[in-house]
Structure 1
Amino acid sequence: MPEAARRLADLAQQALGSPLPVRLRAWDGSEYGPPGTPVLVLRRRRALRRLLWQPGELGLARAWVAGDLDVDGDLYEALRLLAGHLWERGGQRRRTGRLAALRDPALRAVGRELLKLTPPWLPPAPPPEEARTGGGARHSLRRDKRAISHHYDVGNAFYERVLGPSMVYSCAYWESPEGTLEDAQEAKLDLVCRKLALAPGQRLLDVGCGWGSMVLHAARTYGVRAVGITLSEEQAAYARKRVADAGLADRVEIRVQDYREIADGPFDAISSIGMAEHVGSARYAEYAADLFALLRPGGRLLNHQIARRPLQDETAYEVDEFIGRYVFPDGELAPVGRTVAQLEEAGFEVRDVEALREHYALTLRSWVANLERHWAEAVRLTSPGRARVWRLYMAACALSFEANRIGVNQVLAVRTPDSGESGLPLRTRDWRG
């Protein structure tokens, strides 16, 4: 008689110290657990093998990406119910969480017996979607390019299905939750342009330009001459075609270039939207100093960046294993206070900080809805594993923004000249200065 689900539930309760708050369905078709909740589906025995060999977030991630583990029902609700049992305790995220208890020899023996394993007990191979950034110093030019390629060079057609016509891959600016993603993304781009006080003839640098949406909007609407830089070959090719199709090739240049390699400043304004998360704490002072040097006196920087909550011991910060292995290799988050401090230490005068946390939750939910609506195409355009990565990470991030575990902020900073004249109006919140 099928019984794997009940035995799995017992094993989970021993590891977690409390019953799972969701129902389980095992590879033999059996189910066990509270009715009316999302169902955590272990499609193959290999899901448990992955957890026994890599207890915690990485084992779960590999099982999810490989399709060994799934959710039947509301994914958001499943993640919300499971978060405190698997990853969080005392308000702080722990890398391995309570599943680390599966390292206990007695529990591992129970798991092996349930799987009917005999020696040698070899771990399953990671899914092919796991990042391989290679050797070299972290955040070197070469390694950063490989890390960016892992995330962004997965096919422009795939991103079209997820992001929609705007092709903007950062937090939108919503008038209300009932608004459209396209309107919210256009509002965000325009907000950045107004904060930078862009005007015809000015020179704009967009660091991490993605598929070119910011430079296109700035050139078309505000008459600037714009340079957009990216490390992604696929993004650059797509952006150049958009620029040519818009008839703006005489005013917009797209480069495959690292911000550390730019030598043709100064610029009147710099936008960095959703790029600084890739810089890394060890390089952030260099990033801030480089952007300061690229601005003319009186020029403005708009730095749009995800932030995490501060820790009592900042040296204990670690990147989530799922995010680091499958989503943003070598990416790092910092508290907004540290970002502001490092911009100031580089010489900037920080004039405004606007928190957009709720806006990013709405944006991510829209992207998840787009992905689910175009699921078959997304799988065809990339791989089942890649599509599963994006669905999980975007849904989980939406919940993290909603719960105030992470935030996102627009920091407006000025390279204030020696005269002290910032060029900003006395009242900045209307952003007409």
Structure 2
Amino acid sequence: MADAAPRLKSLVEQLLGAPLPVRIRAWDGSESGPPGAPALVVRNRRALRRLLWKPGELGLARGWVAGDLGIDGDLYTALDLLAGLIWERGDDARSLGQAVRDPKVRAAVRGLAKMAGPFPPPPPPREEVRRVRGHLHTRRSDRRAISHHYDVGNDFYEIVLGPSMVYSCAYWAGAGSTLEDAQRDKLELVCRKLSLKPGQRLLDVGCGWGSMAVHAAREHGVSVVGITLSQEQAAYARKRVADEGLTDRVEIRVQDYRDVTDGPYDAISSIGMAEHVGAERYLDYARDLYALLKPGGRLLNHQIARRPQKDESAYSVDAFIDAYVFPDGELAPIGTTVTQLERAGFEVRDVEGLREHYALTLRRWVANLEAEWVRAQRLTRPGRARVWRLYMAASALSFERNRIGVNQVLAVRTPQSGASGMPLRSRAWGE
């Protein structure tokens, strides 16, 4: 008799102390749960073992990446329904200690263990980061982390990002705009905020596949040095530069920002890179960039931010993202970022929040990936493709729910005279 799904639903609800808002479809073909809701597909008993050995977000992530768990129905709706149980329970979440003391929870765990079978814990999927001992955010550990995320294959990223090959929040005139137009408008916004002029030198920190460097050189006549730690990104960017006939104005380096010594620069762009720096290194990062700028030079720092926590000392990195997406990545509140930049000597002149813009961008990336799902899996691995689909969809919801934000911070190395060179009218960029 096929009854795994109703048994699972009952045990999981007993464990969580809350009703499941999604259906469950089990490996024996049975289903149980709210009619019309998306289904959490439990494809085998191994999925249960993953959840029992690693309860919470990481166990669910391992099941998803390995293909033991899936979603039948709209992914966004499913994640939205599950968010309250997985990510947003806050102070109401049952701690492991509470669970051990609760007889009903212990009974539910025993029931799930019986369904899972007497087997050892499954190994983590190969896509999971293998941790090594040592300090975070050394040059070596940062290279390894960047390679994990960005050296997935340029063909794969072409599917996700589209022709613009920009891996950061676009700037939307409206929901009807194309992704390529919105990314071009974002690059142009950065150039106007930096007030780039022909003959100036721009340092693009974390240059990715060269989109900002090419746009700034082609449209504003500046000389650009773009730096990245990804060998694959650098090779792709150099080819783009050559194809555009800009080799005399754009240099792409595989280089750590801490090793750049050929300043001063008139302007610096750092778009979607500072999330990799880490809290302990952030002030040094800001000081390094400050030292590379001419007096009066501008920095445009485009960075994802998290919301402040009640207890900042208790904050922990998102388990799924740290294990599968951005190893060693850290998010800080926007107030912390502004403070660190000013401690380094910068005068912060403008902060623009683009939270809704990133939600739109991520939904377009997910749509691109889903439209070429079979080819995307072939270009990388099925598990890696599943990582990116879950990460981008969940991130879109996080931006929409105001769990995280993204901001462009414009800062100036104001000279002692106090003449910042900034326009009198707010956001009259380019004057």
Contact 1:211 1:236 in 2 (8 A): yes
Does the 8 A contact of 2:15 with 2:109 survive in 1?
no
For residues 237 and 92 of structure 2, what CA distance do their matches in structure 1 show? 38
Measure the CA separation in 2 of the matches of 1:218 and 1:93. 49
1:325 and 2:326 correspond: no
Shift, 1:112, TM fit: 1.8
| 1:300-379 mapped onto 2 (5 Å cutoff) | 300-379=298-377
Q: What do the CA deviations read for 1:221-246 (whole angstroms, capped 9, x no partner)?
A: 00000000000000000000000111
- Cα-Cα RMSD: 1.6
Q: Does 1:403 align with 2:381?
A: no
**1:134 deviation in Å?**
2.5
Q: What is aligned with 2:30?
A: 30
**Would you say 1:217 and 2:224 are equivalent positions?**
no
What residue is the counterpart of 2:75 in the other structure?
75
Change (3 A) 1:178 1:215: same
In the alignment, the residues of structure 1 paired with residue 100 and residue 208 of structure 2 have an alpha-carbon distance, to the nearest angstrom, of 41
**CA deviation after TM superposition for structure 1 residue 87, in Å:** 2.1
**What is the deviation of 1:344?**
0.3
1:54 aligned to 2:54?
Answer: yes
Q: Tell me the residue number matched to 2:248.
A: 250
State the distance in 1 between where 2:55 and 2:340 align: 37
Q: Distance in 1 between matches of 2:96 and 2:294?
A: 52
Is residue 86–residue 98 contact of structure 1 (8 Å, CA) maintained in 2? Answer: no
Rate the CA distance shift 1:235–1:102 in 2: closer, same or farther, 3 A. Answer: farther
Work out the CA distance in 2 between the residues paired with 1:36 and 1:302.
46
Partner residue in 2 for 1:131 = 129
- Residue aligning to 1:65: 65
Shift of 1:101: 4.2
- Determine helix, strand or coil for the equivalent of 2:126: coil
- For the residue of structure 1 that corresponds to 2:389, the secondary structure is helix
For 2:59 and 2:216, how far apart are their aligned partners in 1? 44
Partner of 1:167: 165
Residue 149 and residue 100 in structure 1: after superposition, are their counterparts in 2 closer, same or farther (change >3 A)?
A: farther
Q: Deviations over 1:85-104 (max 9, x none)?
A: 122125x797x979994895
After superposition, give the CA deviation of every residue in 1:243-273 in whole Å (9 maximum; x if it has no partner).
Answer: 0111000100000000000110110000000
- Structure 1 residues 344-397: Cα deviation after superposition (integer angstroms, max 9, x where no partner): 000000000000000000000000000000101100000000000000000000
User: 1:111 Cα deviation (Å)?
Assistant: 1.2
Matches within 5 A, 1:74-153: 74-90=74-90, 101=99, 105-115=106-116, 117-118=117-118, 121-153=119-151
Q: Distance between the aligned counterparts of 2:137 and 2:205, measured in 1?
A: 16
Match of 2:262 among 256, 261, 264: 264
Which residue identity is paired with 2:47? A
Equivalent in the alignment of 2:390: 392
Structure 2 CA distance for partners of 1:264 and 1:76, relative to 1, 3 Å: same
| One-letter amino acid of the counterpart of residue 2, structure 1 | A
Equivalents in 2 of 1:99, 1:50: separation in Å?
A: 20
Distance 1:99 1:7, change over 3 A: farther
- Alpha-carbon distance in 2 for matches of 1:418, 1:132: 48
Q: Secondary structure at the match of 2:320?
A: helix
Calculate percent identity across the aligned residue pairs.
72
Note if contact 2:99-2:106 (Cα within 8 Å) is conserved in structure 1: no
In the TM superposition, what whole-angstrom CA distance separates every residue of 1:133-188 from its partner, at most 9, and x where no partner exists? 53321000000000000000000000000000000000000000111100000000
CA distance in 2, matches of 1:300, 1:93: 45
Structure 1 98/374 Cα, relative in aligned 2: closer, same or farther at 3 Å? farther
Q: State how far apart, in whole Å, the 2-side matches of 1:170 and 1:431 are.
A: 21
Normalised by the size of structure 2, how large is the TM-score?
A: 0.97
Q: How many residue pairs get matched?
A: 428
CA separation in 1, counterparts of 2:414 and 2:86?
48
Q: Following the alignment from structure 2 to structure 1, what is the Cα–Cα distance between the partners of residues 98 and 368?
A: 35
- Taking the aligned partners of 1:197 and 1:135, their CA distance within structure 2 comes to 44
Q: CA deviation at 1:45?
A: 1.0
Residue identity matched to 2:331: L
Secondary structure in 2 matching 1:88: coil
Change (3 A) 1:93 1:170: farther
Deviation at 1:107, TM superposition (A): 2.8
Candidates 225, 246, 261, aligned match of 1:227: 225
Q: Which residue of 1 aligns with 2:16?
A: 16
Structure 1 counterpart SS, 2:235: helix
> Does structure 1 retain, via aligned residues, the 8 Å contact 2:226–2:253?
yes
Extract unaligned runs of 5+ from structure 1.
none
In the alignment, the residues of structure 2 paired with residue 102 and residue 376 of structure 1 have an alpha-carbon distance, to the nearest angstrom, of 43
Taking a change above 3 Å as real, the CA distance of residues 133 and 221 of structure 1, as seen in their structure-2 partners, is farther
In structure 1, distance between residues paired with 2:95 and 2:386: 22
Matches within 5 A, 1:406-421: 406-421=404-419
CA pair 201-360 structure 1, distance change in 2 beyond 3 A: same
Aligned to 1:43: 43
2:112 maps to a residue whose letter is G
The DSSP-based 3-state class of the residue aligned with 2:203 is strand
Q: TM-score, normalised by structure 1?
A: 0.96
Q: Does structure 2 conserve the Cα–Cα contact (< 8 Å) formed by 1:203 and 1:226?
A: yes
Q: Tell me the equivalent position of 1:202.
A: 200
